[in-house]
Amino acid sequence: MRDQIVAGNWKMNKDFDPGLLLVEEIQKMMSEESPGATKVVVASPFIHLARISEMASQSDALYVAAQNCHPESAGAYTGEISAPMLKSIGVEYVIIGHSERREYFKESHELLARKVKAVLDQDLIPIFCCGEPLAVRESEQQGVFVNQQLSDSLFHLNPESVRQLVIAYEPIWAIGTGKTASSAQAQEMHASIRQHLAEQYGKEIANEVPILYGGSCKPTNAEEVFSGPDVDGGLIGGASLNASDFMAIVRSL
């Protein structure tokens, strides 16, 4: 049974106190209505992580993710944070390769490969993001494009490391645009990703890797998007900033 995960990526939102209040609201709703086997992950800005880790330690189903990390474990990298630092405060997941990091900070496949290894070396779980822009989707090359992202940034890993991964498919054309891939489009790409993993590592391992959908998922469409057999949850952006909306998505899974 693959992990079922709903992860909230706050991006660069929420000052310190409002962020903690949001987590308190999520925890209260989780205590009132158990999320069952679903893992609920909060990916806050760095300022909240240590405190949220303490709060999450009181909950069986709440986990904490960082939105990024540096590939080196220490050094003269002003403004950066390392995987060992994240581990030291109780972080369990790290988002790697989000489309905004790729676009705004020009993160290459090679850099992301190093980041994935750095996270795994600390026994943390990478949430590796992949997905195509609109031009690629319109040219119907999305499978080739995403497979290249996976090959270049993940296929240096040994099979046991791949078992630790979470992959998030985020169609870039559907992030923050209000557009959403249909349930059929989401399932098609998730199945393609799983098949690509199977070709490299075998079906058994490929079937163990959770694949999340990450494109404008909200309470009104979550149940439909999650209906595909290869869709194991979501990486949620804007809707994760509201506790009621976020927990409605959790309930959908």
Cα–Cα distance, 54 to 203 (Å, whole number) = 37
End-to-end CA distance of the chain: 14
CATH number of the domain encompassing residue 113: 3.20.20.70
The mean pLDDT value of the chain amounts to 95
220-243 per-position pLDDT tens digit: 999 999 999 999 999 999 999 999
145-170 per-position pLDDT tens digit: 999 999 999 999 999 999 999 999 99
Average pLDDT over residues 45-57: 97
Contact (CB, 8 A) for 193 and 169 = yes
Range of the domain at 82: 5-252
The conformation of residue 167, written as its DSSP 8-state character, comes to E
Number of independent structural domains in the chain: 1
Q: Is the per-residue pLDDT at 11 higher than 80?
A: yes
Catalytic positions, written as ranges: 98, 170
Q: Kindly indicate the confidence band of residue 119, based on its pLDDT and cuts at 50, 70 and 90.
A: very high
Average pLDDT over residues 75-90: 98
pTM above 0.75, yes or no: yes
Quick count: other Cβ atoms within 10 Å of Cβ 57?
Answer: 10
